[in-house]
């Protein structure tokens, strides 16, 4: 009886989502974080630098734990956890930014422009560079329209989607990949704190930008 041969097609890895879709989802997530940014219940500190360092250590550890746990699923499931991981970390970082502002006596709250600057200065500096500008010993915060902020969020989304290839690849290596994601979340949170400390430790002026 003749035997029929069957060719075996190698199983390929799940392709990444189209970059345009990823960038749009990231931009929407950025705007969501802005819309739900927390207010701090901290009081102004007599030693804000030390208090900010303590808050940073706690927040960075929390972000690392959350990011590492969400990055554990390998393969295609890893893609599904990327956005929840980022949202979780960004919300922890947003709370940290609000706390640092309060520790330095900025009780008026954190504006959307300030929050965007602190969260993304180190990862998407070109997108946020016009929102907050150093002017001698002071900072100038340019208050933008909602449409302008949406444009900034889109640019952040594009930038982060370009950077996300290596982070997504890590999800094909469970445990080892999760450890790397956790380490990056700790570092990322520390950089957010650094930007917030630099901003809120100095006098701040505000400028309304005429979009028309």
3-state helix/strand/coil string of the chain:
CCCCCCCCCCCCCCCCCCHHHHHHHHHHHHHHHHHCCCCCCCCCCCCHHHHHHHHHHHHHHHHHHHHHHHCCCCCHHHHHHHHHHHHHHHHHHHHHHHHHHHHCCCCCCCCHHHHHHHHHCCCCHHHHCCCEEEECCEEEEEECCHHHHHHHHHHHHHHHHHHHHHHHHHHHCCCHHHHHHHHHHHHHHHHHHHHHHHHHCCCEEEEECCCC
**Residue 205: pLDDT above 80?**
yes
CA neighbor of 26 nearest in space, from 152, 185, 193, 117: 152
How many alpha carbons fall within 13 Å on the CB side of residue 52? 26
pLDDT reported for residue 7: 44
Which of 67-71, 134-138, 186-190 is most confident?
186-190
**Residue 60: pLDDT above 60?**
yes
Is residue 171 a contact partner of residue 179, using CB atoms and an 8 Å limit?
Answer: no
pLDDT reported for residue 167: 53
Which of the pair, 123 or 71, is modelled with greater confidence?
Answer: 123
Locate the domains of the chain by residue range: 19-30+45-208
Out of 6-10, 58-62, 67-71, 102-106, pick the least confident. Answer: 6-10
Q: What is the arithmetic mean of pLDDT over 11-20?
A: 47
pLDDT reported for residue 77: 52
Q: What is the arithmetic mean of pLDDT over 148-172?
A: 76
Q: What is the arithmetic mean of pLDDT over 110-116?
A: 96
């Amino acid at each position: 009886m003749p035997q029929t041969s069957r060719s075996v097609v190698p199983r390929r890895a799940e392709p990444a989502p189209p970059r345009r879709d990823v960038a749009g989802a990231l931009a929407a997530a950025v705007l969501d974080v802005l819309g739900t940014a927390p207010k701090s219940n901290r009081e102004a500190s007599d030693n804000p630098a030390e208090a900010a360092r303590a808050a940073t250590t706690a927040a960075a550890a929390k972000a690392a734990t959350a990011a590492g746990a969400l990055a554990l699923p390998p393969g295609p499931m890893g893609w599904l956890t990327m956005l929840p991981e980022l949202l979780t970390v960004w919300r922890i970082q947003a709370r940290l930014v609000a706390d640092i502002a309060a520790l330095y006596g900025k009780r008026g709250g954190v504006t959307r422009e300030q929050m965007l600057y602190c969260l993304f200065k180190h990862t998407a500096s070109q997108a946020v560079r016009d929102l907050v500008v150093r002017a001698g010993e002071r900072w100038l915060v340019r208050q933008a329209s909602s449409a302008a902020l949406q444009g900034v969020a889109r640019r952040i989304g594009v930038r982060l989607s370009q950077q996300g290839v290596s982070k997504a690849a890590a999800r094909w290596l469970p445990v080892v990949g999760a450890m790397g994601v956790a380490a990056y979340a700790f570092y990322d949170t520390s950089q957010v704190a650094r930007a917030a400390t630099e901003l809120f430790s100095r006098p701040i002026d505000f400028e309304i930008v005429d979009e028309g």
